[in-house]
Amino acid sequence: MSTLIVTEIQKGAIREASYELVAFAQKIGGDYASLVIGSGVGDLATAFAGKGGGKTYVADDASLADYNVDGYNAAIQAAVAASGATTILVSNTPSGWDVAPRVAAALDAGFISDVFNHQDGNFVRRVFNGKLDAQVSAGGGTTVVTVQPGAIAPFEGSADGSTEALSVDTSGARAKFVETKVAEAKGVDLSKAEIIVSGGRGVGDPEKFPEVIQPLADALGGAMGASRPVVDAGWLPHEYQVGSSGQVVTPKLYVACGISGAIQHLVGMKGSNFIVAINKDADAPIFEVAQLGVVGDLFEIVPALTAAITAAKG
Amino acid sequence: MKILVALKQVPHQDARLDVNGDGTWIKEDGIKFEINSYDTYALEEALRIKDAGEAEVVVISIGPDRVTQALRTALGMGADRAVHVNDDALVGSDSLGIAKTLAAIGKEESPDLVFMGLMSDDGNASAVPPMVAELMGLTSATGVLKAELSDGNVRVERELEGGALEVVDLPTPALLAVQSGLNQVRYASLKGIMAAKKKPIDVKTAADLGVADAVGSGGAKVKIEKVYQPPKGDGAELLEGSTDEIVTGLVNKIKELGLL
Ligand SMILES: Cc1cc2nc3c(=O)[nH]c(=O)nc-3n(C[C@H](O)[C@H](O)[C@H](O)COP(=O)(O)OP(=O)(O)OC[C@H]3O[C@@H](n4cnc5c(N)ncnc54)[C@H](O)[C@@H]3O)c2cc1C
Ligand SMILES: Nc1ncnc2c1ncn2[C@@H]1O[C@H](COP(=O)(O)O)[C@@H](O)[C@H]1O
């Protein structure tokens, strides 16, 4: 039993999520090795090897400077062959979820995605957008596993490690990286708001945002936010979106109205100082991160709350 | 130009979910099903290419009898024909088994483009599309928010964290797994629904596709041992009572936090 940790470089450094994979590999038990992919990344690999990465393979090639699905696929497969690993750990990030299933298919291996724990020999993950948990077992063969960033504390110690250069043939790569576009700064900067009142798909209707959600935000002197389906439907512009693909916010008070609490939303707001959730489903996962909850109809609670706040302010 | 769209039928987003008798999935009887949200965007993107030029759009779905409804809806929206893999042998398949089945159809059809959803709303695996691409020997991109076709190439914008985007060029044929929100999805018109009744749905089995050994629980390399309500942690303190009492509780808390 041995594990291969596929690290990821972001803004010139190995991501925190890669150190979480080290902790995850240690939790699974057995030997592990690591892989660093990039161009001119020898020093990063040496440092990682000494900070828990163990034996670290380095796929260093000019063609791997930017993420490319075909090149990364080839690099990971080369490292699996060199290490003889039977469990391959990849972070569930935009590049991880892009390449990991391809590696699994190429190796005719099992695949388990977005796991947040390893328990009783099984991998634990969320299904139905956070409404249920599932324990999944890997069969006897090779298994590729993607791990949810932030789910487990990163390994922070140091240990003996070494590096080994890995030659990768990327000549067959067809996908071509063109450029990265950073998110444009827009009018609404939720990251500075002290109070945010957010509405989700449960608000049900674009008109209800100015009628129900915005007035509570105004009464509290705060800003309005939203979950992704609200933005996808075109009810509000992207700048209102809170979550992994929107803004990460940490207000003093976050009020979630009609939001179920899928992990991608939680990532964007669970650092708030105090969270209030209003949802008619008592089992909604949002209640797990909220300090105060109301199981009920937002259309009853929110307008009444707005009136009470306005009255209290005099 | 031929475009394949793989779509999955999943429990309706507002369906009540109860764990089944042996604790390995949900009870399916009595709940409503719908086309996986991400897949509606995938289909819409394919139909837009068809609207803008000439393309045949073929929808494929693996699942039991109820899936006919999803395929009829897709045909009603404008797809030309459907392939339905309906075979009890597929029950218990893992993502790789589903991918091998879709790839077998893909190889028969040899499309110019394949559209899928980024993730299924039930299993949340985000596994099948890149697997199918690997098995079919196609390039692929996931989280696609924009796809611009030119001769032999598709320029894709894929979503990264925090709203950043990555622009990638893929030679066609290519497989794109789309992120929600890349377009506004049309409804099937009444006329479309009537026309769909005459459009063909080709029904296939695992054996027809030569994947009998790769599918079902026998072919699966990973297995769901159990499904359950997430354990309740500390959780929220719940305010109960009349609306007035609840609102008073909320106002008091906000005052306590020094925010009023
Ligand atoms: C790669 C990726 C990135 C993503 N990025 C983000 C992101 O940045 N932000 C984000 O939010 N999501 C993101 N998502 C989507 C995420 O997975 C969920 O689909 C989304 O967060 C769900 O939004 P919601 O809670 O508003 O809707 P739902 O999950 O549909 O929940 C609606 C809730 O409203 C409740 N409700 C309905 N009516 C009422 C009522 N009258 N009163 C009270 N409650 C009511 C229901 O009980 C339900 O819990 C991302 C997904 C992926 C795969
Ligand atoms: N049973 C199925 N039938 C057709 N397409 C599917 C099926 N399962 C998954 N897919 C496709 O693969 C995508 C991702 O699903 P998954 O990997 O299961 O999260 C879906 O959005 C569909 O496009």
SS3 A248: coil
R_g over Cα of chain B: 21
> What whole-number distance in Å separates Cα of residue A255 and Cα of residue A246?
17
Report pLDDT for A183. 76
Ligand nearest to the CA of A295: 1
Rounded to two decimals, the ipTM of the complex is 0.97
Cβ distance A178 to A235 under 8 Å?
Answer: no
pLDDT of residue A187: 72
Of the bound ligands, which one is closest to the alpha carbon of residue B38?
A: 2
Q: What domains does chain A contain, in order, with CATH numbers?
A: 2-165 (3.40.50.620), 190-313 (3.40.50.1220)
Contact B119 CB / ligand 1 (< 6 Å): yes
Mean pLDDT of successive 10-residue segments in chain A (314 residues)? 94 97 97 98 98 98 97 98 98 98 98 97 97 96 97 95 97 96 80 96 98 98 98 95 96 98 97 98 95 98 98 89
Q: Is the CB of A104 less than 8 angstroms away from the CB of B19? A: no
Say if A313 is an interface residue toward chain B (CB within 8 Å). yes
Residue A314: per-residue pLDDT: 80
If residue A303 lies in a helix (H) or strand (E), which one and from where to where? Answer: helix A298-313
CB of B259 within 8 Å of a chain A CB? The answer is yes
Residue ranges and CATH numbers for the domains of chain B are 2-219 (3.40.50.620)
**Cβ–Cβ < 8 Å for B130, A99:** yes
Nearest listed ligand to the Cα of residue B125: 2
Asked whether B101 lines ligand 2 (CB < 6 A), one says no
Does the beta carbon of A131 lie inside 6 Å of ligand 1? no
At residue A299, φ and ψ (nearest 5 deg) are -70, -15
**Is the minimum distance from the CB of B91 to ligand 2 under 6 angstroms?**
no
CA A302 to chain centre: 30
Query: What torsion, rounded to 10 degrees, do the Cα atoms A156, A157, A160, A161 define?
Result: 0
pLDDT at B135: 98
pLDDT attached to residue A189: 83
Say how far apart CA B101 and CA B205 lie, in whole Å.
Answer: 9
How do beta strands B9-11 and B33-35 pair? Answer: antiparallel
Q: Give me the pLDDT at residue A20, please.
A: 98
Lookup result for tokens 């009870």? B27
Given a cut of 70, the residues of chain B with pLDDT beneath it are: none
State in Å: Cα A260 to ligand 1 middle.
5
Q: With an 8 Å Cβ cutoff, is B173 touching chain A? A: no
- Atom in ligand 2 nearest the alpha carbon of residue B36: 21
Note whether B236 contacts A: Cβ–Cβ < 8 A: yes
The shortest CB-CB distance from B161 to any of A73, A98, A245 is to A245
